[in-house]
Structure 1
Amino acid sequence: MLGVIAMPPLQDVYLRDQPVRTLGRMFRGQRRRLVVAAAAFTLKHSPIWVIPLLTANIIDVVVDHRPLTELWVNAAIMAVLILQNLPLHQLYTRMLSRSVRTVETGLRMALAQRLQELSIGFHRRVSAGVLQAKIVRDVENVVESTRQAFDSGMAAVTTLAGAIVITAIRVPEFLPVYLVAVPAGAALVVSMRRRMSARNAAFRAEVEHMSARVSEMTHLIPITRAHGLERDELERMDATLVGVRNAGFRLDVTNGWFGSLSWILMQLLSVATLVGAAWIAWTGRFGMSAGDVTMLSAYFVALTGAVTALMSLTPIIAKGLESVRSMGEVLTDPDVERNHGKAQVAAVRGDVDLEDVRFAYDDAPDETAIDGLTLHVRAGETVALVGPSGSGKSTVLNMVIGFLTPTEGRILLDGRPMTELDLRSYRRHLAVVPQESLLFEGSVRDNVTYGSRDLSDEVVLAALRDANALDFVDAMGGLDAVIGERGARLSGGQRQRLAIARALVRDPRVLVLDEATSALDTASERLVQEALARLMRGRTTFVVAHRLSTIRGADRIAVMRDGRLVEIGSHDELVAADGAYADLHRLAAPA
């Protein structure tokens, strides 16, 4: 059970082109807390619109020489209003923070879950840096814009409401002033909103491009440094950063115009209100007192601040809504691996049948990657796939794993079509050892038991021993030794042997080896080959390797060319047949 508060599936919450409603749906489960927070804020913020009225009363006490009792009563009310701010502000902060942080955690977890559901094809199309920006930056934008909208929005709304109500009661003749100020500010907001939205979208696109470039740059640092290409890489990064700078500059200028125009408008209206109220009181019209002039002046300053705050929220809200749209690019992408309602795979024998399989990638629908492939692999059999680059070997492996679905034909696992199976349950019986081992920062134990954390140390040590990894693990300090980010403290051969140990503890029935020894030196390759031989024993194994020496012992070797199976048999049978495999064998033989 995951330790975060669940949200409704985001793909169900998200409404395309309706980010405001989407945001409301995201916070649907927090309504009670938000109502309490709003009530607490209204009360704790009341001094802003009540104190001007009390101030007016005190001024009139002085000017009209009223009883001092009224002075002390108004002063006492002021003190109570000020002191209540502390407990109510704490209540407000707790309720709002719990709501916002819950949604923040739920959003990130839901996005992470969605990324796990999206197909491998999606992850090949979309940069990891862009996806990272959506989980980190976009969620942060949504949360911060919500928090600021609540803080500033509640302050502005309660101030406006309080000022209007008290003015309507005490000096109703001044209500038309508000009817002028509010529409004027609203007109400014509407006129700027569209341009600001476009600027935010452009800036977000540049930042996502920058994130992707940074991710790529950090990944390529060993290659960059090894070939002295630092200057070239910095020039590429400079062009990206200039794009971010220019987009950010255009966004800032737009926001600057917006802020300046709104401030000028509100200040002019404030001055007009003060002068008008003073003139009316001086002429004796409407029965206004000196205290009323002070109150109206203070209210209009508060009013201008409230309206300005509402207008200044527009770019912040626009930024948050743009991030909601950005998350929608993940939430609404249809390229999802669908497992719900399909048959669970409780056990696997290991029979795999490819029946007249054809496959074409979405970005090249007219180019057939696999063309009419039929192949039966018996349980416990090792089949090697060989052929030139682009012949379809990796595509076959990805279909066996379930990452890709045939465009035509079908794949059967133990006689059942894989399209009818819950692939997540099938993959619990499968292990993959790729060319580049995928390790993470943590201990040896963490990496070997990844996905199988309830294993005992005895089982882990046995797997390390069978993977020819126990010696170097002991030298590093044992199972708790930290291997560094992506296994930085290990050699290539050591990383591969840890990956093999990880596969061993899973006890898979189907094994996929994708160029597992191609990047190793001779000594490391020998140790890895010995470990792989133990791993492959009794398991259905698919092997892709360019080095023919590594696949001589396969039960059968399938030779592929242009997505087709051109011949199949054992090493000796294929050499004797003097066909495509024999040609490859002669090319690989030492001169």
Structure 2
Amino acid sequence: MPEHTLAPAPHPVPKRSAVRSLLRLWPYVRPVRWFLAGSVCAALLASCAALLVPLVLRRIVDGPVAHHDTAALWPPAGLLLLLGLTEAGLFGVRRWLVARPLSRVERTLRGDLYARLQRLPVSFHDRWASGQLLSRATSDLFTLRLFLAFALVFLIVNSATFLTGVAIMFSLDWRLGLILVLPAAPLVVLCSFFEARYSSVARRAQDQIGDLATVMEESVLGIRILKAFGRHRTMARRFRDQARELRSTELRKARLLADLWAVIVGLPELALGVALCVGCVLVAHGHLTAGTLVAFLSTALALRWPVESLGWLLAYSNEAATASDRFFEVMDARPAEEQDTPRTDLRPEGAEPDGIRFTGVGFRYPDAPPDTPDLLRGVDLHIRPGETMALVGATGSGKTTLTALLPRLYDATAGTITLDGTDIRDLPRQRLRELVAVAFEEPTLFSASVRENVLMGAPEAGPQALERALDTAQADFTRRLPEGVDTQVGEQGLSLSGGQRQRLALARAVVGSPGFLVLDDPLSALDVHTEALVENALRQVLAGTTALVVAHRPSTVLLADRVALLADGRISAVGTHQELLESCPAYRELMSGDPADRVREGSTAR
């Protein structure tokens, strides 16, 4: 792990309109715009078919019913049946038009998000909780797909249906139409107020879902620790507390939506009741026909869904806008710089290999407190071609960080690092990471077979290279697994012991016979017997590569040709193991575990 304090997951809440947030999805929606347009057209035609029903009812009431002509009733009744079937069929077509295209949009969004996460620097992942990223890749993208498939379509369709219905009502009787339109003004004000309040609560809820996912993931991955220390109840309480906070936020959302819905439903119903009373008076005085009143009220009832759905559609649109913001927070993060025209040669033509050279290298983590010094300050170190250099230092001195700079998991904030004379910033990242192989102290394995995990270090390597790497790492246990190297190791490789995982990580680092090798205390989880076997095999690998090995034990130090001591952010001493034991008190203290003054006193006494 990097030797710094991780910052909590950021929860930025950008101030922007919901419309602007949703418009950012246009590049993804554009390829399927005609399917969406077809869906809108089908839904509009279905709504128009529904609005024609009141006009047919008017003709029935004022015609066959008023004149008691049963024979004349059948044609308009058949027309009503046809309109109903047409409406049902068109809504089926609407769903068929958007189902497959929008699933592709969701797939593209998820693929782009995953690709961006792979390109973002390690410093980004240090700052973000995995649950927050997981919720963006799952629930947020699902919300966006449902918005595009349903809420967006019906925001357009219901608005057009409402305007068309109002026009029909005014054409039937302007007085009754005016009564039903009067609640529109307070509804607009209420919806504006609701949008501002609801968007904030929706953002809070989606962030809390991400936090809850983080707790769940940590509990599952750390279940052995929780059970071993009897802390499962503590984690359960933490989960319940966060679930309770999420429940409170969701109830707040529900209350806001309930308040909006009460007004959205109540005002139109009140206006409809007034219109019914006025209409009955007009019919009684002969100023309006019964068929016209029936058609007017039927049209008003047909508009109930477009009006009542307004609250739900606004709420879902705000959630979709929040999901869009959360998606683009990751997409807007600056990826690791990729040079357009990098140099691909390792050294100038005719020049001799120069190995690995650190010159004035400095580094500080972006989240480090401003009043603290840089972790690395002017590191100068030269590892000659074919040489193995052991890097030692006290815990927290920056050894792991220095090794992470070589494959550019982090970028140095000062100075230069060169491979055979070429600045690593002049190399394509892919090429750099083909040249530099890494084995970390904490081995990470994936839910895949042994073969796939090891060959991740060199996908093009053949069976012989795989066998050599496993032999070097003394990973002969893989041959005793149920399916040999094709055995699935399970999530995080937890079906294996710590030493077995570390040996597979070492095999992954050496399988491609890299020109440059970085090993971060690669033998810490091995027993003494296995460690000796791995060291003997590893010496053959190190003889043909330029290597930097982080070491904490003398046995690992002895693998190296020379040793570098990192202290106070700088390389304070370089030499062979024996030279440093004789000339460097700090090194003697580190290797012996005794204070330097005691070592000096013992030497004087002897």
**Residue 363 (1) aligns with residue 362 (2):** no
1:480 aligned partner: 486
Distance 1:346 1:68, change over 3 A: farther
1:183 aligned partner: 185
Stretch deviating more after TM superposition (486-495 or 60-69): 60-69
**Aligned pairs (5 A) from 1:8-157:** 18-65=20-67, 70-85=72-87, 87-157=89-159
For residues 177 and 535 of structure 1, the distance between their equivalents in structure 2, rounded to whole angstroms, comes to 88
TM-score, reference length from structure 2: 0.88
Secondary structure (helix, strand or coil) at the match of 1:379 reads coil
Contact 2:169 2:176 in 1 (8 A): yes
For residues 33 and 158 of structure 2, the distance between their equivalents in structure 1, rounded to whole angstroms, comes to 21
For residues 263 and 44 of structure 1, the distance between their equivalents in structure 2, rounded to whole angstroms, comes to 23
1:10 aligned partner: none
CA positional deviation for 1:41: 1.9
For residues 15 and 539 of structure 1, the distance between their equivalents in structure 2, rounded to whole angstroms, comes to 53
Secondary structure (helix, strand or coil) at the match of 1:354 reads strand
- Residue identity opposite 1:343 in structure 2: P
- Residue identity opposite 1:53 in structure 2: L
2:4 aligned partner: none
CA positional deviation for 1:232: 2.4
2:256 aligned partner: 254
CA positional deviation for 1:157: 2.8
For residues 175 and 507 of structure 1, the distance between their equivalents in structure 2, rounded to whole angstroms, comes to 82
2:3 aligned partner: none
**Residue 529 (1) aligns with residue 528 (2):** no
Secondary structure (helix, strand or coil) at the match of 2:443 reads coil
For residues 70 and 338 of structure 1, the distance between their equivalents in structure 2, rounded to whole angstroms, comes to 77
For residues 475 and 404 of structure 2, the distance between their equivalents in structure 1, rounded to whole angstroms, comes to 28
1:388 aligned partner: 394
**Residue 465 (1) aligns with residue 471 (2):** yes
- Residue identity opposite 1:402 in structure 2: R
For residues 576 and 103 of structure 2, the distance between their equivalents in structure 1, rounded to whole angstroms, comes to 60
Contact 2:437 2:457 in 1 (8 A): no
For residues 30 and 451 of structure 1, the distance between their equivalents in structure 2, rounded to whole angstroms, comes to 39
Secondary structure (helix, strand or coil) at the match of 2:183 reads helix
- Residue identity opposite 2:390 in structure 1: A
Aligned residues: CA RMSD:
2.7
Contact 1:146 1:317 in 2 (8 A): no
For residues 90 and 452 of structure 1, the distance between their equivalents in structure 2, rounded to whole angstroms, comes to 51
Secondary structure (helix, strand or coil) at the match of 2:400 reads helix
2:265 aligned partner: 263
TM-score, reference length from structure 1: 0.90
Distance 1:94 1:453, change over 3 A: farther
**Residue 552 (1) aligns with residue 551 (2):** no
**Aligned pairs (5 A) from 1:276-291:** 276-285=278-287, 288-291=288-291
- Residue identity opposite 1:341 in structure 2: D
**Aligned pairs (5 A) from 1:408-427:** 408-427=414-433
For residues 375 and 494 of structure 2, the distance between their equivalents in structure 1, rounded to whole angstroms, comes to 35
CA positional deviation for 1:90: 4.0
1:229 aligned partner: 231
Distance 1:501 1:60, change over 3 A: same
**Residue 565 (1) aligns with residue 571 (2):** yes
- Cα distance per residue 1:261-312 (max 9 Å; x no partner): 2221222122222222222222222xx3212111111111222321111222
2:7 aligned partner: none
**Aligned pairs (5 A) from 1:246-395:** 246-285=248-287, 288-334=288-334, 336-343=335-342, 345=344, 351-364=355-368, 365=370, 366-395=372-401
For residues 49 and 439 of structure 1, the distance between their equivalents in structure 2, rounded to whole angstroms, comes to 61
For residues 200 and 542 of structure 2, the distance between their equivalents in structure 1, rounded to whole angstroms, comes to 56
**Residue 507 (1) aligns with residue 510 (2):** no
For residues 346 and 93 of structure 1, the distance between their equivalents in structure 2, rounded to whole angstroms, comes to 55
Distance 1:312 1:350, change over 3 A: farther
CA positional deviation for 1:257: 1.6
- Residue identity opposite 1:518 in structure 2: S
Stretch deviating more after TM superposition (239-248 or 48-57): 239-248
- Cα distance per residue 1:154-202 (max 9 Å; x no partner): 5523431442343344434444235323333222211222111221122
Distance 1:534 1:371, change over 3 A: same
1:518 aligned partner: 524
For residues 57 and 507 of structure 1, the distance between their equivalents in structure 2, rounded to whole angstroms, comes to 87
CA positional deviation for 1:46: 3.1
Contact 1:50 1:162 in 2 (8 A): no
1:495 aligned partner: 501
- Residue identity opposite 1:73 in structure 2: P
- Residue identity opposite 2:282 in structure 1: I
Secondary structure (helix, strand or coil) at the match of 2:406 reads helix
- Residue identity opposite 1:28 in structure 2: R
For residues 453 and 470 of structure 1, the distance between their equivalents in structure 2, rounded to whole angstroms, comes to 21
1:4 aligned partner: none
CA positional deviation for 1:214: 2.1
CA positional deviation for 1:453: 4.5
CA positional deviation for 1:462: 4.0
Secondary structure (helix, strand or coil) at the match of 2:519 reads strand
For residues 451 and 56 of structure 1, the distance between their equivalents in structure 2, rounded to whole angstroms, comes to 77
Secondary structure (helix, strand or coil) at the match of 2:377 reads strand
Extract unaligned runs of 5+ from structure 1. Answer: 1-13
- Cα distance per residue 1:343-381 (max 9 Å; x no partner): 154668782211111222222244211111111122322
CA positional deviation for 1:583: 2.6
Stretch deviating more after TM superposition (160-169 or 401-410): 160-169
For residues 15 and 119 of structure 1, the distance between their equivalents in structure 2, rounded to whole angstroms, comes to 26
Stretch deviating more after TM superposition (580-589 or 273-282): 580-589
For residues 406 and 41 of structure 1, the distance between their equivalents in structure 2, rounded to whole angstroms, comes to 57
Contact 1:47 1:78 in 2 (8 A): no
CA positional deviation for 1:455: 4.6
- Residue identity opposite 1:82 in structure 2: G
Secondary structure (helix, strand or coil) at the match of 2:526 reads coil
- Residue identity opposite 1:271 in structure 2: G
Percent of aligned pairs with the same amino acid: 29
For residues 326 and 133 of structure 1, the distance between their equivalents in structure 2, rounded to whole angstroms, comes to 10
CA positional deviation for 1:387: 0.7
Distance 1:457 1:89, change over 3 A: farther
For residues 85 and 462 of structure 1, the distance between their equivalents in structure 2, rounded to whole angstroms, comes to 69
